[in-house]
Copies of this chain bind each other. A is one copy, B any other.
């Protein structure tokens, strides 16, 4: 292992630097020079790896979308997905809280996931493709995932007789809003985690039988 440079080919370093900048400044407000500076090469050298600035974004979107499609559980849930493992005999709320908070902390601190989330947020009103991805990843897939889970739980007689989609929204949207708050003000993470704990426990006491 060489110690002079971190890791990854120049092409990968360019993609990383681009995501760094796009996730804070946005695509248009980021220049090729800024990306090149971050990588440590001249801006002309960048064109040996990508034909244009647009191609950097396109590649980034492609990589990130594939990664999401192959690894996110939210995008892959099917109607035949069973109830959460171990939930058949009721829910251990503290274990659920710990699991959810673990996932959220991972998602908040993963250098790629967190930056993609920010980039989508910034570009959502300008770039139709990114708008579609944001809706899917931050709303549609998550809502569908929990709707299916809560439907199963309702059928199993674990939860009250309510609309599972609204129940899914009641579970996920506070977390969504709080994660956005953490992306904006990282210092408030612990405050948010305490709120998530309260939220899940209150959600449980309202919905579960």
Interface set of A (CB-CB < 8 Å, partner B):
23-29, 118, 121-122, 124-126, 131, 134-135, 139, 160, 162-163, 165-167, 169-170, 173-174, 176-177, 181, 183-185, 195, 198-199, 202-203, 205-207
Contact = CB atoms under 8 A, between A and B. Distances in A.
Contacts of A167: 202
Contact of A26 (B29, B170, B181, B203): B29
Contacts of A198: 163, 165-166
Chain copies in the assembly? Answer: 2
Contacts of A24: 125-126
Among A23, A166, A185, A207, the most chain B Cβ lie within 10 Å of the Cβ of: A166
B169 A199 contact: yes
18 contacts: A23-B125, A24-B126, A25-B28, A26-B126, A27-B29, A28-B28, A118-B125, A121-B124, A122-B122, A131-B185, A162-B205, A163-B202, A166-B195, A166-B199, A167-B202, A169-B199, A173-B174, A177-B177
A38 B23 CA distance: 28
Given A24-B126, A26-B126, 6 more contacts: A25-B28, A25-B126, A122-B125, A162-B206, A163-B202, A170-B199
